[in-house]
């Protein structure tokens, strides 16, 4: 449920990298250009990002997003499941 998801995020506390299914509730990340509608994002996730500012947040859910990535504060938001204009994988290089 949405309440359970919000509770789990609240309990998580600060992290450097977060991997989740839905995007944060930001129109450009939640809008599917093929379906021509907002496919939904998480308000709880957006609140978490604003509070804790992880370095990266990786998500999927939206297959043809209006935007595949953006930055919010210091957080880089990345849709790793998008196939718009490309059919590639996402790589996170954390160095050695």
Task: Report pTM.
Answer: 0.85
pLDDT band at 89 (very low <50, low <70, confident <90, very high): low
pLDDT digits (tens, 9 = 90+) for 2-32: 889 999 999 999 999 999 999 999 999 999 9
Residue range 50-70: average pLDDT?
Answer: 91
pLDDT band at 36 (very low <50, low <70, confident <90, very high): very high
Q: Which of 37-51, 58-72, 76-90 has the lowest mean pLDDT?
A: 76-90
Residues facing residue 78 across a β-bridge: 58, 69
Residue 36, burial from CB neighbour count under 10 angstroms (0-12, 13-18, 19+): exposed
């Amino acid at each position: 449920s949405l309440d359970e998801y919000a509770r789990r995020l609240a309990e998580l506390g600060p992290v450097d990298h977060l991997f989740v299914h839905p995007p944060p509730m930001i129109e450009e990340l939640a809008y599917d250009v093929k379906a021509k509608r907002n496919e939904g994002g998480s308000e709880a996730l957006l609140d978490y990002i604003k509070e804790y500012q992880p370095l990266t947040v990786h998500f999927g859910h939206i297959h043809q997003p209006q935007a595949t990535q953006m930055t919010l504060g210091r957080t880089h938001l990345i849709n790793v499941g998008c196939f718009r204009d490309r059919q590639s994988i996402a790589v996170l290089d954390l160095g050695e």
